[in-house]
Structure 1
């Protein structure tokens, strides 16, 4: 996960916290968090990066809509990240 951008990590966390969200679902959540519009040219290439790095799996809901699901590798990367953060942030 250390080679992901902050935006990609945020996308990964959103996907991990949802049940097979569509790209539009992810977009809505991330726009709420960032308090700004996220255009398709930023969103989908970053989602594709997560798929290509095997952190996320992509499937079809219908011919026009894809869903995204956290992979085991993605879940493990989040767990490792949280362990790393714990040494710096006391919660």
Structure 2
């Protein structure tokens, strides 16, 4: 996960927290968090990068709608990141 951007990491977290979200649902979650518009030209290439890295699977709900889910590797990466963060952030 060390080679991901913060945006890509946020994408992983949103996908982990939803049940097979489609791109628009992910976009809406991030827009709410970032308090600004997320353009498709930023969203989808980053989702494709996560798919290419084997962290996310992309499925097809219908001819126009894809959905995303974490792979086992994606879950392991999130778990490892959270363990690493806990070393430094003790709330």
What TM-score do you get using the length of structure 1 for normalisation? 0.99
Structure 1 residue 77 displacement after superposition? 0.1
Task: Report how many aligned residue pairs link the two structures.
Answer: 91
Instruction: Identify the residue that residue 72 of structure 1 maps to in structure 2.
Output: 72
1:1-91 matches, within 5 Å, as 1-91=1-91
1:58-82 CA distances to partner (integer Å, 9 max, x unpaired)? 0000000000001100000000000
1:13 Cα deviation from its structure 2 partner: 0.2
**RMSD over aligned Cα, in angstroms?**
0.4
* Gap runs ≥5 in structure 1: none
- The whole-number CA distance in structure 2 between the counterparts of 1:31 and 1:51 is 21
CA–CA distance in structure 2, aligned partners of residues 25 and 55 of structure 1? 19
Runs (5+) with no aligned partner, structure 2: none
Secondary structure of the structure 2 residue equivalent to 1:59: strand
